[in-house]
Chain A
């Protein structure tokens, strides 16, 4: 593992040669372990109700936005729409409201998703181990859970109230997930909340611990850059493309077999160019509003999509660049005993 001063030095060094050297190394490792395959997924937002007030998020309960949660019929409609695009890996998201979207609501959405998609992941509020187990048995294969920032002081400032204000409960979430039997865990920090080097260093350390304690889980990393929230004073730190590329390369070099995700919040150009360097999984044609695919209501989005290309186009571009787009990377089997 790298130490913090080394990581800081690399992030501070924007010389062409430094970045190129990292890229060459990371590219070779990626080819070795993943070949030229890129998995595709799409997010589906179930609800934007939230009981928390994370100051960097457009769904915070403090904000006056139109709230919406999909009804069972709407969930079905939304999923049918996404399935038509050929996407088979799905990420279901929901705002942090246990009251509006309790675990059983999520479980029902998972069961519906099972009719359309072979692989289902979730990005929802932190749950108990038993609740994760229940979701696993209902067909959940993966969970995305970001610590947001690993700096406790900053974490407390950013999460002033609600269940999410408990740093330790959040930190121990991946452990509870791993114990529940779930196969994939995706970790990350929101870049721009705190010092990037410090957060990334802690993220890598967290991953290293998890790999040691729960070697059977497949891990992946994400590096989302947080954007300003309209209507609030929140100003994220800026994180350059060069920094992002260095992070992707470092992650690949330090964790050769770990998946790296890149969402449509990044531009098509950046996404195209980072493919060979370490990214193994990208979202495509994402809608980040609740009901966005089936055109159910026009609610506010969690973040703006920069890469708006349809799946067809993303696939064509991947092939053009010598990559094999992978739609199916898991076959649904009965999870659990």
Chain B
């Protein structure tokens, strides 16, 4: 088995390369079971869905203690709102990991990259570990690095659409050029989409709808986890296939450099 470097986020070593979202589940018991089945160590929860008042049926009760919480700022429309949401989360004791989600388009729910960069800057200044959800654009990704992001989370396709890694070409560019962990988020509808992302060289994936909407969320969570492992192994093993800067396994012009006289 090939040796892998651990994924490090906010200074923490993370073994599982699958992150799980907790929205849209039909009941909260399925959330717990899916977390366990997937072996994930990081789950996202929307602050807007955490019931600070009610203890019974509060989503946090269903997340095992050893799991890292990544609070998402869903509902925020600009950087200031992201910061306000993050501060509330921190004060409520949910830690300082924030998935920056700024959406200003209710039809496609595409992230607003410009506000995302601003939000990431503001959060980092206040000591938050910011993981921005973004549209895979190289310039934005570079800005996010400067703004202090802990990882970048490009979308595979529109959130909730399950259409797979449609933005593959551009995600690959981020993987090549950006030194931060690249976590493919949104649009992964099948375990094979997760495997595909990992084969590309993504550091991790985030899955939600596909698990939450499954007839049996627990087994789909497990299937995704296995696909993520398979994809990672394939990447490490140097999966043969279309490569952008290819190096042929036996050089085509090697004969020019061979010390042989005919």
Q: Does A310 contact B (CB under 8 A)?
A: no
Answer whether A88 and B24 are a contact pair too, CB < 8 Å, given A35-B209, A215-B104, A215-B105.
no
Say how far A325's CB is from chain B's closest CB, in angstroms: 8
Q: Does A36 contact B (CB under 8 A)?
A: yes
Q: Are B104 and A216 in contact (CB under 8 A)?
A: yes
Contact residues of A between 304 and 336, Cβ < 8 Å to B: 319, 322-324, 326-331, 333-334
Q: Does B81 contact A (CB under 8 A)?
A: yes
Q: Does A169 contact B (CB under 8 A)?
A: no
CA distance A32 to B159 in the complex (A): 10
Q: Does B107 contact A (CB under 8 A)?
A: yes
Q: Does A219 contact B (CB under 8 A)?
A: yes
Digitize B50-65: 1 where CB-to-A-CB distance is under 8 Å, 0 elsewhere: 1111100000000000
Q: B48: which of A32, A258, A322, A329 is its contact (CB, 8 Å)? A: A329
Q: Are B25 and A337 in contact (CB under 8 A)?
A: no
**A to B contact number (C-beta, < 8 Å):** 80
| Contact partners of A319 in chain B: CB under 8 A | 27
Q: Does A69 contact B (CB under 8 A)?
A: no
| Contact partners of A331 in chain B: CB under 8 A | 47-48, 50, 52, 75, 85, 88
CA distance A258 to B54 in the complex (A): 27
Q: Are B26 and A322 in contact (CB under 8 A)?
A: yes
Q: Does A25 contact B (CB under 8 A)?
A: no
| Contact partners of A51 in chain B: CB under 8 A | none
| Contact partners of B25 in chain A: CB under 8 A | 35-37, 324
Q: Does B36 contact A (CB under 8 A)?
A: no
CA distance A324 to B212 in the complex (A): 11
Q: B27: which of A183, A217, A258, A324 is its contact (CB, 8 Å)? A: A324
Q: B106: which of A257, A323, A337 is its contact (CB, 8 Å)? A: A257
Q: Are A32 and B75 in contact (CB under 8 A)?
A: no
Q: A183: which of B54, B77, B209, B212 is its contact (CB, 8 Å)? A: B77
Name the residue of chain A whose CB is nearest to the CB of B160: A33
Q: Are B80 and A337 in contact (CB under 8 A)?
A: yes
CA distance A218 to B74 in the complex (A): 12
Q: Does B23 contact A (CB under 8 A)?
A: yes
Q: Does B118 contact A (CB under 8 A)?
A: no
| Contact partners of A160 in chain B: CB under 8 A | none
Q: Does A167 contact B (CB under 8 A)?
A: no
Q: Are A324 and B106 in contact (CB under 8 A)?
A: no
Digitize B9-27: 1 where CB-to-A-CB distance is under 8 Å, 0 elsewhere: 0000000000000011111
Q: Are B75 and A217 in contact (CB under 8 A)?
A: no
CA distance A215 to B110 in the complex (A): 11
Q: A211: which of B27, B52, B77, B106 is its contact (CB, 8 Å)? A: B106
Q: Are A215 and B213 in contact (CB under 8 A)?
A: no
CA distance A333 to B52 in the complex (A): 14
Name the residue of chain B whose CB is nearest to the CB of A33: B160
Q: Does A297 contact B (CB under 8 A)?
A: no
Q: Are A36 and B26 in contact (CB under 8 A)?
A: yes
Q: Does B109 contact A (CB under 8 A)?
A: yes
Q: Are A88 and B106 in contact (CB under 8 A)?
A: no
Q: Does B90 contact A (CB under 8 A)?
A: no
Q: Are B84 and A327 in contact (CB under 8 A)?
A: no
Name the residue of chain B whose CB is nearest to the CB of A119: B48
Q: Which of A34, A35, A219, A337 has the most CB of B within 10 A?
A: A35
CA distance A218 to B24 in the complex (A): 18
CA distance A218 to B25 in the complex (A): 21
| Contact partners of B213 in chain A: CB under 8 A | 31-32, 35-36
Name the residue of chain A whose CB is nearest to the CB of B161: A32
CA distance A255 to B46 in the complex (A): 23
Q: Does B162 contact A (CB under 8 A)?
A: yes
CA distance A324 to B27 in the complex (A): 5
Q: Are A215 and B106 in contact (CB under 8 A)?
A: yes
Q: Does A72 contact B (CB under 8 A)?
A: no
Say how far A55's CB is from chain B's closest CB, in angstroms: 34
Q: Does B142 contact A (CB under 8 A)?
A: no
Say how far B250's CB is from chain A's closest CB, in angstroms: 47
CA distance A327 to B96 in the complex (A): 25
Name the residue of chain A whose CB is nearest to the CB of B109: A257
Q: Does B172 contact A (CB under 8 A)?
A: no
Top 6 closest pairs, chain A to chain B, by CB: A35-B24, A36-B26, A333-B84, A216-B104, A215-B105, A328-B51
Contacts A330-B48, A333-B85 known; 10 new A-B pairs at CB < 8 A: A32-B161, A34-B24, A183-B77, A215-B107, A324-B27, A331-B48, A331-B85, A333-B81, A333-B88, A334-B84
- Can you list 25 A-B pairs with a CB-CB distance of less than 8 A? A31-B213, A32-B160, A32-B161, A32-B162, A32-B209, A33-B160, A35-B24, A35-B25, A36-B27, A183-B75, A211-B107, A218-B106, A257-B107, A324-B25, A324-B27, A327-B51, A329-B48, A331-B47, A331-B48, A331-B50, A331-B52, A331-B85, A331-B88, A333-B81, A334-B84
Chain A positions within 8 Å of B, measured between CB atoms, are 31-37, 86, 88, 183, 211, 215-219, 257-258, 319, 322-324, 326-331, 333-334, 337
